[in-house]
Chains A and B, each alone.
Chain A
Amino acid sequence: MTIRVAMTVNGTEYARDVEPRLLLIHFIRDELGLTGSHWGCDTSNCGSCVVWLDAKPVKSCTLLAAMADGHAVRTVEGLEQDGRLDPVQQGFVECHGLQCGFCTPGMMMTARWLLDRNPDPDEAEIREAISGQICRCTGYENIVRSIRWAAGHPAEHPA
């Protein structure tokens, strides 16, 4: 038994027939082939699946694809615009904010959302914003510095 699920992902319309129980993260990864978003746990703790749903970050392992039907999703693949990296992407390169890269897409999506609302966050605000996402490699310090760098180097032509 399938249902029709349609949504916009990074500006492009997609529609697929899927089982109602299909999780949004699996829709993004397996149906659409956008494997930049990851999964890493069973209990909505790790945050490697964070994407945007209607411009708010969400742990996409905790929603059904059906719940996103008719809505807009943005993933890490949608950060780069017209060949230009988002400042958060550049910040993570400048400040060594990633090592294995597995938590990175989720961290960057949350960072982008934070900076859109709070363009000049202090360290405490950054740490609070990413506190629902786990990194095993970086000890968080360079992630914080990467986001600070992005705050200090906003895009010249914001999307």
Chain B
Amino acid sequence: MTGAGGFGRMRRKEDQRFIRGQGCYIDDVQLPGMLYGAVLRSPYPHARILGIDTLAAEAHPRVRAVITGASLHERNLAWMPTLSGDRQAVLATDKVRFQGQEVAFVVAEDRYSARDALELIDVEYEPLPAVVDARRALDPGAPVIRDDLPGRVGNHIFDWEAGDAGRTEEVFRDAEVTITQDMLYPRVHPAPLETCGAVADFDQVSGKLTLWETTQAPHAHRTLYAMVTGLPEHKIRVISPDIGGGFGNKVPIYPGYVCAIVGSIITGQPVKWTEDRSENLMSTCFARDFHMRGELAAGRDGRIRAVRVTVLADHGAFNGTAQPSKFPAGFFGVFTGSYDLEAAHCRVTGVYTNKAPGGVAYSCSFRVTEAVYLIERLVDLLAYELDMDPAELRMRNLLRPEQFPYTCQTGWTYDSGDYPRTLRLALDLAGYESLREEQEAERANGHLMGIGVSFFTEAVGAGPRQHMDILGLGMADGVELRIHPTGTAVLRISVQTQGQGHETTFAQIVAEELGLSPDDVEVVHGDTDQTPFGLGTYGSRSTPVSGAATAIVARKVRERARIVAAAMLEVDAADLEWEPGRWFVRGDPDQGRTIAEIALAAHSDLELPEGVEGHLDAACVYNPPNLTYPCGAYVCVADVDPGTGKVSVRRFIAVDDCGVRINPMIVEGQVHGGLADGIGMALMEVIAFDPDGNCLGGSFMDYLLPTSLECPAWELGETVTPSPHHPIGAKGVGESATVGSPPAVVNAVIDALRPYGVRHADMPLTPAQVWRAIQGRPLRTDLAIG
């Protein structure tokens, strides 16, 4: 349990229902008269729809409705806006544009009948050539995917630049050493264990829609549904109950949700839609798919001078990336990394392909995963080129604490950090020098052992209103705190936990500020009828934004309590001092009042000063002045069997700096989870496509996730450099490990293969890829292995 304050290791309050199997996830929701929906999906990646015959399906005795694009078109719902200002088909009308795209929706009395009825729908397709290779998407003569958009003649979506191209070119021309490397961050998928789903219940009498939904952003969804469906916003209630993992997968609005709503409106009964795993992997938002050409310019002494990168971003058939609207490539601009550069420049080109939409997901912090992978691989390539130790090279180039706040070459102002200290701790925990000695001995015996280092700067907590919005909605979060007359409290927040422990950590923030016990603070979240507006949980923004808002609102309550206490004690408010839990008279500590006493008095007939309202509550909307910049240093030790290509991760050391830690136990859990992601992406996860556009990652037999046997016992450490602009000095941490771990693993494997002269091979480093890399012929991993 915690000490006098609220911060510290504390068992989670929410565990009590989960360990009893009493969580309420979407598929647990049962309403009287509830019907079940199922989606018919396209087998083709690109095809014209010549006709859809639903008569047989409608005739099925247990089917209540069959919805197609044509029927949605009548309601102006065949298309819906995406989070990137594009539009996405809810149900296909003219064409299908990716394998797995939604074509029709069946509503039936039970889920098995709904599934059966899908086979009774007859769709006539005229297959079209598909764009599968992103690198061919801009070829002259490439099939045009988005001919639904007026004036579209190709598959180009956007170009985006950051940094100074001219200055960067100067440095490159001048540099003693330049490195160039093509690297792919393959298409992967967040794959939360609970798939996406919704239960839509439209009440025809009141005109109110209640929507249970797997959403990381209930308020944003409610506003979007109001805009899209025409239902007035005050008649829409979005409830995000317990969510079985999000990782960005549950940020977008999916066609299945809209169809469930329409199904409920048509039938007058609740409609549940829950996708199966293949639907989740094939049609919901994927992550990454950045084809990068990275260049690094340096001095022979190892001084990193400039970084340049061009990126081809595969966005799939609809541009559905979920990031602030002015940042089509998210926060990729932090590819400048943790080093002091003279210049940097990047150019990102987004293209359409015949694949599912998405790109920003899977704990990427809005493309920071891609940025960190790029820079940390380039640094290792520089170390390889100069025959320098990669840890030493980093130590020489890391930003120094006195350089903070540091504005990098692409305009991001890193708030705080002591990078050398963080790296030093990781190296010490790893026993880095001994590991290198061991490696030398192993190499002499022909064994392949690798040590990979990665240092990352993360950018989380979106975001300042003047720079960031999603579809015009600002990213400020509201929060409300009320102290009841008998002294316990309720905190209403807008962010949405999917396992991060908000019911505990946010109570701890209030406890820390007011001296209450966290057990006496109820945290309410997930229901738009009961919580203030905010943009939700993703990009590790909950602590930086809503955590700040909570601290501020608790301080507001504390200040109101001071005034009430002064009235109770008949002294001047200025004569009172605070200790956790009570205001007392300066110099006369026995004269004090606890929060509970003050709360009761605030609800009583106590006379309060002119202009001071009663009760003991406050609200706040927090607009963050900046992002927060957690960082970390990771060391991975791996062994490679050259005869089979099999990689085994022996150890993984992770030192994270996320500023002040509200609950270290929860922070460590977040890090553990992200580290497993790194093993997964580095060694086994990929969604590839064959030349016909068939998705090759549509099940957990094909899309492999790491198990307990691939993950080592994680070794964690911490440094703490508080964020200077955050009220409690905290930074986000939820995605740090997912950001920092893949390059550490890849660096370790490439390091292990040093005796073979391997410089790079793309993820996933499966046995086949490792063996091929040793042969000097690594595989291209976004396409089918041929």
Chain A–chain B contact at Cβ < 8 A: yes
Which residues of chain A come closer than 8 Å to B17, judged between CB atoms?
Answer: 101
Cβ B247 vs Cβ A136 within 8 A:
yes
What is the bound-complex CA distance between A108 and B544, given in angstroms? Answer: 33
Distance in angstroms between the alpha carbons of A58 and B299 in the assembled complex:
60
Interface hits, B246-263 → A, CB 8 Å: 247
Within 8 A of A (CB), among B649-672: 665-666, 668-672
Asked if A45 is at the interface (CB within 8 A of a chain B CB), the reply is yes
Instruction: Identify the 4 closest CB pairs spanning chains A and B, nearest first.
Output: A36-B21, A100-B499, A102-B244, A101-B18
State which residues 545-566 of B face A: CB under 8 Å. none
Residues of the B chain whose Cβ atoms lie less than 8 Å from the Cβ of A42: 276-278, 699-700
Please give, as numbers and ranges, the residues of chain A lying within 8 Å of B700 by CB-CB distance: 41-43, 45-46, 134
**CB < 8 Å neighbour of B669 from A76, A136, A137:** A137
CB pair A137–B245 under 8 Å, yes or no, is yes
- Neighbouring B residues of A102 by C-beta, 8 Å: 23, 25, 192-194, 244-245
Which of the listed residues B28, B111, B500, B676 has the most CB atoms from chain A within 10 Å of its own CB?
Answer: B676
Does chain A have a CB within 8 A of B22? Answer: yes
Pick the contact of A136 from B23, B192, B670 — CB < 8 Å?
B192
Nearest CB of B to A1, in Å: 13
Residues of B within 8 A of A41 (CB): 277, 699-700
Task: Assess whether A108 is in contact with B112, with CB atoms less than 8 Å apart.
Answer: no
Q: Tell me if A77 counts as interface (CB < 8 A to partner B).
A: yes
Q: Given A136-B193, A140-B708, A143-B708, are A85 and B19 neighbors across the interface (CB < 8 Å)?
A: yes
Complex: how many Å from CA A41 to CA B701? 10
User: Can you list, as one digit per residue, whether each of B305-324 has a CB less than 8 Å from chain A (1) or not (0)?
Assistant: 00000000000000000000
Provide a sorted-by-A list of 10 A–B residue pairs whose CB atoms are within 8 angstroms.
A21-B112, A35-B24, A39-B27, A40-B194, A48-B193, A76-B21, A100-B194, A101-B19, A102-B192, A138-B673
Write out, one digit per residue, whether chain A residues 14-51 have a CB within 8 A of any chain B CB (1) or not (0): 00000101100010011001111111111101101000
Q: Which among B15, B28, B277, B713 is the interface contact of A98 at CB below 8 angstroms? A: B15
Q: Is B674 at the interface (CB under 8 A from chain A)?
A: yes
Question: Could you say which of A37, A93, A99, A126 contacts B499, with CB atoms under 8 Å apart?
Answer: A99
B111: chain A residues within 8 A (beta carbon): 26, 30
Asked if A29 contacts B714 (CB within 8 A), the reply is no
Task: Please report the C-alpha to C-alpha distance between residue A127 and residue B699 in the assembled complex, in whole angstroms.
Answer: 23
Q: Cβ of A92 < 8 Å from any Cβ of B? A: yes
Is A54 an interface residue, CB under 8 A from the partner? Answer: no
Instruction: Give Cα distance in the complex from A130 to B498, angstroms.
Output: 22
Partner of A46, one of B16, B193, B675: B193
Q: Which residues of A contact B245 (CB under 8 A)?
A: 100, 102, 136-137
- Interfacial chain A residues near B374, Cβ < 8 Å: none
- A34 CA to B247 CA, complexed, in Å: 27
User: CA separation between A37 and B676, bound complex, in Å?
Assistant: 24
Interface residues on B, range: 35 or more
A128 near B: Cβ within 8 Å? yes
B12 part of interface (Cβ distance < 8 Å): yes
Residues B1-37 near A (CB distance < 8 A)? 11-12, 14-25, 27-28, 30
Q: B244 → chain A, closest Cβ, in Å?
A: 3
Q: Is the CB of B699 within 8 A of A43?
A: yes
Are A101 and B669 in contact, CB atoms less than 8 angstroms apart?
Answer: no
Min CB gap A33→B, angstroms: 7
Residue A114 lies at the interface, judged by CB distance under 8 Å to chain B: no
Q: How far is the CB of A32 from chain B (nearest CB, A)?
A: 12
**Do A137 and B673 touch (CB < 8 A)?**
yes
Q: Are A139 and B672 in contact (CB under 8 A)?
A: yes
The complex places the Cα of A46 from the Cα of B711 at a distance, in Å, of 16
Q: In whole Å, how far is B680's beta carbon from the nearest beta carbon of chain A?
A: 9
Chain A 108-146 per-residue mask, 1 if CB under 8 angstroms from chain B, else 0: 100000000000000100111011111111111111100
Contact between chains at B673 and A40 (CB < 8 Å): no
Question: What is the CB-to-nearest-CB distance from A2 to chain B, in angstroms, rounded to a whole number?
Answer: 12
Given the complex, which residues of B lie within 8 Å of A137, measured CB to CB? 245, 499, 669, 673
Given contacts A22-B112, A41-B699, A100-B243, contact A127 B498 (CB under 8 A): no
CA distance A104 to B701 in the complex (A): 21
Main secondary structure of the interface of A (DSSP, over half): loop
Q: Is A138 within 8 A of B672, CB to CB? A: yes
Q: Are B193 and A33 in contact (CB under 8 A)?
A: no
Q: Considering the chains assembled together, what is the distance between the CA atoms of A136 and B248 in angstroms?
A: 13
Check B399 for interface membership: any CB of A closer than 8 A: no
Looking across the interface, which residue of chain B has its beta carbon closest to that of A75?
A: B21
Q: Decide if B501 is an interface residue (CB 8 Å cutoff).
A: yes
A interface vs B, CB < 8 Å? 19, 21-22, 26, 29-30, 33-43, 45-46, 48, 75-77, 79-80, 85, 89, 92-94, 96, 98-105, 108, 123, 126-128, 130-144
Is there an interface contact between B669 and A100, defined as CB atoms closer than 8 Å?
A: no
Contact indicator B672/A101 (Cβ below 8 Å): no
Query: Nearest Cβ distance between residue A26 and chain B, in whole angstroms?
Result: 8
Kindly state whether residue B195 has any CB partner on chain A within 8 Å: yes
Cβ-based interface call for B709 (8 A): yes
Q: In the assembled complex, how far is the CB of residue B594 from the closest CB belonging to chain A, in whole angstroms?
A: 30
CB distance from B646 to the nearest CB of A (A): 16
Closest A residue to B741 using CB positions: A139
Q: Which residue of B lies closest to A134 (CB)?
A: B705
Whether A29 pairs with B27 at a CB distance below 8 angstroms is yes
Nearest Cβ distance between residue A75 and chain B, in whole angstroms? 7
A126 nearest CB across to chain B (Å): 8
Q: Are A34 and B21 in contact (CB under 8 A)?
A: yes
Q: A45-B699, A139-B673 given. 4 additional CB < 8 A pairs?
A: A29-B28, A43-B700, A96-B668, A98-B499
Q: Please determine whether B30 and A33 come into contact, CB atoms closer than 8 angstroms.
A: yes
Closest chain-A Cβ to B185's Cβ sits at a distance in Å of 19
Q: How far is the CA of A150 from the CA of B729 in the complex (A)?
A: 36
Residue in B closest to A101 when the chains form the complex, CB atoms = B18
**Whose C-beta in chain A lies nearest to the C-beta of B22?**
A36
Q: Given the interface contacts A46-B700, A48-B193, A144-B708, does A101 sit within 8 Å of B23 by beta carbon?
A: yes
Q: Is residue B213 within 8 Å, beta carbon to beta carbon, of the partner chain? A: no
CB distance from B213 to the nearest CB of A (A): 16
**B673 and A99: CB pair below 8 A?**
yes
Residues of A within 8 A of B15 (CB): 92-93, 98, 101
Question: Could you tell me if A45 and B701 are in contact, using CB atoms closer than 8 angstroms?
Answer: yes
List CB contacts (< 8 Å) of B320-369 with chain A.
none
Q: CB of B242 within 8 A of chain A?
A: yes
Please give me the residue from chain B that is nearest to A34 by CB atom. Answer: B21
Query: Is B707 engaged at the interface, CB distance under 8 Å to the other chain?
Result: yes
A105 close to B21 (CB less than 8 A) = yes
Check B242–A101 contact: CB distance below 8 A.
Answer: yes
CB contacts (< 8 Å) of B12 on chain A: these are 93, 96
Given known pairs A139-B672, A143-B708, the reply for A92 and B19 (CB within 8 Å) is yes
**Are B243 and A96 closer than 8 Å at their CB atoms?**
no
Residues of B near A30 (CB, < 8 A) are: 111
Check B276–A127 contact: CB distance below 8 A: no
Which chain B residues border A21 with CB–CB below 8 Å? 112
User: Which residues of chain B are near A35, meaning CB under 8 Å?
Assistant: 21, 24-25, 27-28
The CA-CA distance from A35 to B25 in the complex, in Å, is 9
Complex CA–CA separation, A80 to B245 (angstroms) = 25
